[in-house]
């Protein structure tokens, strides 16, 4: 397993729409292992393939707490098939937007259809943190970031800050 470099805002790669995966094979499983390794190293609780520069529809999540046994989840071609009218608010962060957090309101429950790591069709009725995390990561597959769900003023401030930081690194 390899820890991959993370793509950071404002890299335009993050705005790409990821392509569906046609075949679940050992290369893809290896990629999912690398994604988990990268996520654990960061550390984070969710990661989409595009965040390591691979525009394919796959994401990994692990909501286990520190000290608990790991619970890695792999979602291939995940699709939200229904979402609740009731909403919940979580303070979200993103490995591609380090050290920035903001409250985001989303549907409290979602049903997500996907293929697991073995390519088997599955579906999950998620609520709580898993529901929020799935929506955040599926957004990534569509080139959407959590800052797109906050006020325009706040979003512009964050983008400006990260653009400045990226420029100073190049120089």
Which of 36, 94, 112, 147 touches Zn ion by CB under 5 A?
A: 94
- Look up 137 and say whether it is catalytic: yes
H/E element, 27 = helix 26-41
Degrees (nearest 5) of the Cα angle 5, 45, 152? 80
Q: Is 133 in the site for Zn ion (CB under 5 A)?
A: no
Gap between the Cα atoms of 105 and 119, Å rounded = 31
Structure token pair of residue 138:
């599926």
Q: Is 147 in the site for Zn ion (CB under 5 A)?
A: no
State in angstroms the smallest separation of the CB of 76 from Zn ion: 18
| Binding characters for Zn ion, 18-57, by CB under 5 A (x = yes) | ----------------------------------------
Per residue in 145-156, is it b (16+ CB within 10 Å) or e — as a string?
Answer: bbbebbeeeebe
Question: With respect to Zn ion, which residue has the nearer C-beta, 101 or 120?
Answer: 101
Applying CB under 5 A, which residues contact Zn ion?
94
């Amino acid at each position: 397993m390899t820890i991959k470099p993370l793509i950071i805002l404002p890299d335009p790669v993050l705005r790409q729409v990821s392509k569906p995966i046609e075949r679940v094979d050992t290369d893809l499983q290896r990629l999912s292992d690398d994604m988990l390794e990268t996520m654990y190293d960061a550390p984070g609780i969710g990661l989409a393939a595009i965040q390591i520069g691979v525009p394919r529809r796959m994401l990994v999540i692990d909501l286990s707490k520190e000290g608990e046994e790991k619970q890695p989840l792999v979602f291939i071609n995940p699709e939200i098939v229904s979402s609740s009218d009731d909403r919940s608010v979580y303070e979200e962060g993103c490995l591609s937007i380090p050290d920035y957090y903001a409250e985001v309101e989303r549907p409290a429950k979602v049903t997500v259809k996907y293929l697991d790591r073995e390519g088997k069709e599955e579906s999950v009725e998620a609520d709580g943190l898993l529901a929020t995390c799935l929506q955040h990561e599926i957004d990534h597959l569509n080139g959407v970031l959590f800052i797109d769900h906050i006020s325009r003023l706040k979003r512009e401030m964050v983008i400006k800050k990260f653009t400045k930081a990226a420029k100073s690194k190049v120089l």
